Amino acid sequence: MSIEQGIVFSVLGITLAMFVWNRLRFDVVAMLALLAVAVAGLVPTEELFAGFGHPAVITVAAVLVISQGLVNGGVVDNIARLLGKISHRPTLQVFTLTSVVALCSGFINNVGALALLMPVAIWMSREAGRSPSLLLMPLAFGSLLGGTMTLIGTPPNIIIASYREGGSFGLFDFAPVGVAITLAGIAFITLIGWRFTPRREESPANSKLFSVGEYVTELRIPVDSPHAGSTLHSLITGAGDEPDIVVLALIRGEQRQAVPSTYKVMREGDVLLVEADTTSLQTFLDKTGLELAHQAVDDEETENDKEKNSDSAANEVSSEENTEDDKESSVRIAKGELHLVEAVIAPESSLVGQTANRLQLRERYQLNIVAVARLGYRLKRRLGDIRFNAGDILLVQGFEDSLGGSLAELGCLPLAERGLRLGSPRNTAMASGIFLASIVAIVTGLLAAPVALVAGAVAMVLVKLLSAAEAYKAIDWSVIVLLAAMIPVGQAMETTGGAGLIAAQMLVLGENLSVASVLVMILVSTTLLSNVVNNAAAAIVVAPIALSLASDLQIPSDAVLMAVAVGASCAFMTPIGHQSNALVMEPGGYEFGDYWRLGLPLTLVVTVVAVPVIMLVWT
């Protein structure tokens, strides 16, 4: 082993270890790897940042923009709405959802397709009286399977196409293998696999994660209160240690102001609609001198009126004793411009690692975080101090006309259908037409895939399916940086002879094996790697090794590249293998060890189906 090979192996080894460690963002790790090979002189300076202009990177960016254009145009949303009409039978629900998400994932971003259908799956589960855990894991796995069907279905396919000798793969060159494993995977999940998903059963009384009405109370600023004329901020901070209480609205006469500013000046008689548990509420009342709104009303009522309202007043304070009052409280919150929605924090959300206080969500986005749930349980800690994790479920309150845009900007996805939509459908026909025109240009050879897809993305901006700002936001820049940085690192492994050295060692193991066995070895090795590191990074690392091995064993290079592509895309056994897996972990109530129960047999099904098809088509 030469010094250069030792350096490149060390860099790759440390890089993979840091990917698994997951304490630094994967794009930061990739840039560190790129800088390491640059300092070592393994990549010429003029080629160091060539990855940012690599056709595969440009194609991935264009696909993400087009995906957002299709979402804004309502193309996939129209499909999703039709799913609400299917029956409550679990087998039929699993089959329909998995099939539709797989079809969508073949042409748009996997996570985007999953995000659109996940609220539908949760709604269907609740309507059927079942936990979402039954549907969400099959839905996530279906999105991974569907991405294997086309060149643009998933970044690993785009990366693998760039390694092909004599020109890239075509748009549907992945279809024979991708369609075969997708059909086999859907059949397995529908008939058998869904039974391997963990049961997180919920009683009808707990069909919603948050029961907001149990915590909602109206407080009045009494006459001669020292807080009259002061701000809401001073009221809350004046209670000593900042209480665990959320002000949902301020009511002044006939006017109701949702999500009032913390610098709103209060007056005598103002009513605050607050969310707090009974312990925090009592502490807040003792320290501020505010009074329950119904008590002030009682003082002005006749004795007869008091008798009529005494029961409802008591239930307002501790509404756990009366579910009807819970419902009335929830209705009050939703009146007018106020709107509540459950949303999950996506892995790339700007909320991850931050707190609501630090981000000033109320002032900057006019949002209230009403409650936070993690691992299936509502967190009881002070809301403003909770440091958000990817997968946390938030109960968010805000203005109905801006709540969707604010959630999208923060990287959160709504879970339950409450009239909220991410993006507004504008012109389904226009979005579909532009996308189909790009596909036709690629299939007929009129334009290369990067050119056709970039043209489609620009066209969607020109016809205002999305703005230029939305187009930039649609691009997952962490993935772009990862690809652009890792491509030169992968090339360094090839130019230093490192890939050939690993292939020579594998040759010792595989020289007496059949072609099918070698393909199984490559596919399974890539699959195991993609379950612990980013799938695009796995493809970049394994592809040059597989090509060197194919050259030594006289196996068609296209066959081994297809094996790498399938292995990189089928990360079913861990929640960290793909963003889709991570996204359903919290809403489904899954634990880390739940994934392999369905993921392992599904991986075996994919391997058994993929290898014969690869041999039939590509050898």
Q: Can you spell out the DSSP letters for 99-167?
A: HHHHHHHTTS-HHHHHHHHHHHHHHHHHHTT--THHHHHHHHHHHHHHGGGSTTSSHHHHHHHHT-TTS
Better-predicted residue by pLDDT, 613 or 536: 613
Among residues 265, 233, 470, which one has the least CA distance to residue 362? 233
Q: Which of 336, 329, 291 is nearest to 312 (CA)?
A: 329
Predicted pLDDT at 375: 62
Percent of the chain with pLDDT over 70: 82
535-553 and 477-495 helices cross at what angle (nearest 10)?
Answer: 30
CA distance 566 to 554: 21
More confident residue, 277 or 297: 277
Asked if residue 473 has pLDDT above 60, the reply is: yes
Give yes or no for residue 393 having a pLDDT over 50.
yes
> In angstroms, rounded to a whole number, what is the distance separating the alpha carbons of residues 595 and 197?
8
- Beta carbons of 605 and 186 less than 8 angstroms apart: no
Please report, rounded to a whole number, the percentage of residues in the chain having pLDDT higher than 90: 21
The count of other CB atoms within 10 Å of the CB of residue 352 is 17
Chain mean pLDDT for the chain: 79
Enumerate the β-bridge partners of residue 255: 252
pLDDT number for residue 404? 75
pTM of the predicted model as reported, rounded to 2 decimal places? 0.69
pLDDT digits (tens, 9 = 90+) for 583-605: 787 778 788 788 899 999 999 99
pLDDT the model gives residue 205: 39
Q: Which of 69-78, 157-166, 269-278, 327-336 has the lowest mean pLDDT?
A: 327-336
Domains defined along the chain, listed by start: 3-201+434-618 (no CATH), 212-324 (3.30.70.1450), 338-414 (3.30.70.1450)
pLDDT at 417 over 70: no
Q: Name the least confident of 353-357, 398-402, 415-419, 529-533.
A: 415-419
Structural element, H or E, at residue 378: strand 377-378
- Tokens representing 65? 């923009």
